[in-house]
Structure 1
Amino acid sequence: MRKQIPSIKRLIILLVWIVVGLGTLASPALALTDEQKFLSEVWRVVDRAYIDDTFNHQNWWLVREKLLKKPLENREQTYEVIQQMLTSLDDPFTRLLKPDQYRTLQTSTSGELTGVGLQIALDGEKGKLRVIAPIAGSPADKAGIQPADTISKIDGVSTEGLSLDEAADRMRGPVGSRVILTVEREGRAPSDFLVVRDRIALNPVIADLRTVNKPGSGEPVKIGYIRLSQFNANATTEVAHAISRLEEQGAEAYILDLRSNPGGLLQAGIDIARFWLDQGTIVYTVNRQGVIGSFEAMGQALTSDPLIVLVNQGTASASEILAGALKDNKRATLVGERTFGKGLIQSLFDLSDGSGLAVTVAKYETPNHTDINKLGINPDVTIPLDSIRSDEVGTQADRQYATAVELLTTDSMVAAGAP
């Protein structure tokens, strides 16, 4: 019996340890607050969808754990912490959109907007607020703000350190209210622009038929001019209608004006490329696993007539997808300036409180597998954009447009039916 006592004691101690251990494992975890749950919701979306699985070379799980230890007393405070978390990715396109900002974005892609009418981006190298393009006919456009301008102040407040959404918030306001934008332009001293906010009608297409005489012979050539200002929900239908109408009117060649078009819906850019292409790759997409997908032209184009595409520094995103597809498939000649260089694709995610999250989920490459992010697309014919009035765009006072007309009225291009 004496020899068994130590074994019994060890057994009892072991049983006690197991019970205590199980009790510890079974104890409920500390419940998360509503603010912590919301932060975790955003973290999970980025964790699952973001294109860079190194999360800018940081331990993404540890980022969440550290932030959960911060006092989160209200939703505004949580928004600020989430913004800090997203800023650590060093990607200005992955961002939180508060409920009012999210509604504004959804409205703009649906075809209506209120504000100054500027598409903006953060210059990654300099951290400055850069104008991609003013929306055609918008208050900013009428005030004279141009692509590649830098906005250094909004109503006297420096834009340095502001996020895109913070800058956009400062430029929003009631219809009829005023905002002063301090603009820096290459070769000029900073100047103030007074902009009166207004409701902006986003009909993205202007189209008409123009008859131009060939140099020398005087023979008339009918050119369809289509200016596309944004890839919103109306863009695909409006461009299709414009091409069909111009074909019925006898168009022999086309000018597609994508200047100062900041992009918009990816699918709209792909669908519009199919209007001009019978076959061929439109764009390649590359996700975080390096998996390459593609979108193809797969039907009869609406026209095979010669095509010139006008581009400038404000031609961005979906506009670059369309321009790159037409250039690489040798369907069009690009005239103008090097494009903006946004080769990243974002998806929008609805969040539980009515806000939204824009997350970079992939990058794209042109049909020739060219990554244009931060590089842009070089035109076939480089013509600098002169400083012209908005009512001179698409006229002979517009050198880029005039060059396109000149190219389209040469015998070789008209006879070839394509570049």
Structure 2
Amino acid sequence: MVKRKQLFFAVIISVIITAVLTFAITNTVSLSLGDRVILSKEDYKLVKETQKLLTLKKYIDKYYLEPVDTEKLMEGAAKGMFEALGDPYSVYMNEKEFKEFNESTSGSYGGIGVIVTDKDGYVTVVAPIEDTPGEKAGLKTGDKIIKVDDIDVTGIGLEKATSLMKGKKGTKVVLTVIRENRTEPLIMEIKREDIVLKTVKAEMLDDDVAYIRISMFDEDTGKEFKKALSEIKTKNAKGLIIDLRQNPGGYVTQCVEVADELLDKGVIFYTEDKDKNQVVTHSKDGKIDIPFVILVDEGSASASEIVSGAVKDRKAGLLIGTKTFGKGLVQSVEKLNDGSGFKLTIQKYYTPNGIDINKVGIEPDIEVKAMEIAEGQNPEDVKDVQLERAIEEIRKLIK
């Protein structure tokens, strides 16, 4: 069995080398006689590096004290390539991890409902998902999760950390959390629930002011937003408040559908890849006919920043709140034949005015800081000064 695995590994490496050689032969004009080929410097380097992997594998098989699991070595090599990029958003996932990743952006799954990112090796909260155990437990943007149960998750990778936080409905998980301006870590015991992603909620705040909350951008958000707009029109809304606070992002296609309802014909955003190739995304001519404001905060990231950046640059509406998170990178998600997959950062996006918001964020037109929630205090008892200011501003626009 071991020899068969070794043979399989060697075949894989040979296929890679053959592919590189084939590419080099068909793309190099000058060839020498006999069985030698002329490679470009880059192709030769790739062949040498690939040969090094095979050499290391042979040494491990020959001398390592314990039995060797070739499949684990292959998984480790794949993960290592992505980790070496130093980009928290580029990740290789095995079959189980990739399945869980897809569940977290569509349908439902068992867990606590929190979006996290890697910041300096820490599992850092971007935003808890609305009406989930994570939000109810008091997790906040910027919290650093250092332990899940008794497992130290510092530096272990986002996919592993999020996998530990997921589980069957009704089971409990204990998080150890570092929060800014606190000397001692917080210990949070959270009961997992089925996290059902309903991302759009609409209501009338007054007779003529509508409120639409978008908690994240999943595969149905665009459709749900259009439905919400239709509902408020039947109620004769004269002004609209769109709440993107604590919205960690999601599908770019869905945020484009939302922006398309808010903007006249023009640029929503554009992307640029490593070769400086640009792709411009435009809105169609079909803007809503009532004034609107958008609420943002430090938990508004990625896709929600695409919407707010376009609205601000094109002066279509007002942004109220605090500076956004600052994630201006685009990832491609790919599934491999064996069920595994990966996310890879392939582009950076820019607002219509060419502003790079990555690690910078978007400043609101009107800054209003949220009131702090004291420990043990019910969030519903805290005055929402940002929303109050939004109502005040939309009233001015209606008049």
Listed one character per residue, the Cα deviations across residues 315-338 of structure 1 (whole Å, up to 9, x for unaligned) are 111111111111111011111111
- Residue equivalent to 1:319: 304
For 1:171, give the aligned amino acid.
Answer: M
Q: By how many angstroms is 1:75 displaced?
A: 2.3
Q: Does 1:210 align with 2:205?
A: yes
- Residue equivalent to 1:380: 365
- Residue equivalent to 2:241: 255
- Greater C-alpha radius of gyration: 1
- Residue equivalent to 2:193: 198
- After superposition, residues 250-399 of structure 1 pair within 5 angstroms as 250-301=236-287, 303-388=288-373, 392=380, 397-399=383-385
User: Contact 2:371/2:383 (CA < 8 Å) preserved in 1?
Assistant: no
User: Contact 1:133/1:147 (CA < 8 Å) preserved in 2?
Assistant: yes
- Residue equivalent to 1:102: 98
For 1:202, give the aligned amino acid.
Answer: L
Unaligned runs of 5+ in 1: 1-29, 45-58, 212-220
For 2:260, give the aligned amino acid.
Answer: R
Q: Distance in 1 between matches of 2:14 and 2:211?
A: 49
Q: Distance in 2 between matches of 1:260 and 1:204?
A: 12
- Residue equivalent to 1:91: 87
User: Contact 1:341/1:376 (CA < 8 Å) preserved in 2?
Assistant: yes
Q: Distance in 1 between matches of 2:46 and 2:185?
A: 41
User: Contact 2:239/2:291 (CA < 8 Å) preserved in 1?
Assistant: yes
- Secondary structure of the corresponding residue to residue 384 of structure 1: coil
Q: Which of these residues, 74, 83, 90, is aligned with residue 78 of structure 1?
A: 74
Q: Distance in 2 between matches of 1:409 and 1:398?
A: 17
Q: Does 1:67 align with 2:62?
A: no
User: Contact 1:111/1:232 (CA < 8 Å) preserved in 2?
Assistant: no
For 2:196, give the aligned amino acid.
Answer: A
Q: Distance in 1 between matches of 2:146 and 2:96?
A: 24
Aligned residues: 355
- After superposition, residues 27-176 of structure 1 pair within 5 angstroms as 33=9, 36=12, 64-71=50-57, 73-123=69-119, 126-176=120-170
CA gap 1:66/1:341 in 2 versus in 1, 3 angstroms: farther
Q: TM-score scaled to structure 1, two decimals? A: 0.79
Q: Does 1:232 align with 2:208?
A: no
Listed one character per residue, the Cα deviations across residues 356-379 of structure 1 (whole Å, up to 9, x for unaligned) are 111111110011100111111111
Q: By how many angstroms is 1:111 displaced?
A: 3.1
Q: CA RMSD in A?
A: 2.5
Q: By how many angstroms is 1:69 displaced?
A: 3.5
Higher relative contact order (CA 8 A, sep 6+): 1
Q: By how many angstroms is 1:95 displaced?
A: 0.6
Q: Distance in 1 between matches of 2:292 and 2:386?
A: 14
User: Contact 2:260/2:283 (CA < 8 Å) preserved in 1?
Assistant: yes
For 2:9, give the aligned amino acid.
Answer: T
User: Contact 2:117/2:126 (CA < 8 Å) preserved in 1?
Assistant: yes
Unaligned runs of 5+ in 2: 1-5, 21-44, 58-67
Q: By how many angstroms is 1:391 displaced?
A: 6.1
CA gap 1:293/1:187 in 2 versus in 1, 3 angstroms: same
Q: Does 1:182 align with 2:176?
A: yes
For 1:210, give the aligned amino acid.
Answer: L
Tell me which moved more, 261-270 or 148-157.
Answer: 148-157
For 2:398, give the aligned amino acid.
Answer: V
User: Contact 1:320/1:339 (CA < 8 Å) preserved in 2?
Assistant: yes
Listed one character per residue, the Cα deviations across residues 23-44 of structure 1 (whole Å, up to 9, x for unaligned) are xxxxxxx975289469969x99
CA gap 1:305/1:169 in 2 versus in 1, 3 angstroms: same
Tell me which moved more, 305-314 or 65-74.
Answer: 65-74
Listed one character per residue, the Cα deviations across residues 20-78 of structure 1 (whole Å, up to 9, x for unaligned) are xxxxxxxxxx975289469969x99xxxxxxxxxxxxxx77665544344337332332
User: Contact 1:113/1:202 (CA < 8 Å) preserved in 2?
Assistant: no
User: Contact 2:13/2:50 (CA < 8 Å) preserved in 1?
Assistant: no
Q: Distance in 1 between matches of 2:48 and 2:237?
A: 61
Q: TM-score scaled to structure 2, two decimals? A: 0.83
User: Contact 1:253/1:408 (CA < 8 Å) preserved in 2?
Assistant: yes
For 2:241, give the aligned amino acid.
Answer: I
CA gap 1:190/1:223 in 2 versus in 1, 3 angstroms: same
Listed one character per residue, the Cα deviations across residues 91-140 of structure 1 (whole Å, up to 9, x for unaligned) are 111111221221222223223232111100011xx322210011111111
For 1:78, give the aligned amino acid.
Answer: M
User: Contact 2:100/2:163 (CA < 8 Å) preserved in 1?
Assistant: no
For 2:93, give the aligned amino acid.
Answer: L
Q: Distance in 2 between matches of 1:38 and 1:79?
A: 18
- Secondary structure of the corresponding residue to residue 307 of structure 2: helix
CA gap 1:68/1:313 in 2 versus in 1, 3 angstroms: farther
Q: Distance in 1 between matches of 2:148 and 2:55?
A: 35
User: Contact 1:310/1:336 (CA < 8 Å) preserved in 2?
Assistant: yes
User: Contact 1:130/1:149 (CA < 8 Å) preserved in 2?
Assistant: yes
- Secondary structure of the corresponding residue to residue 104 of structure 2: helix
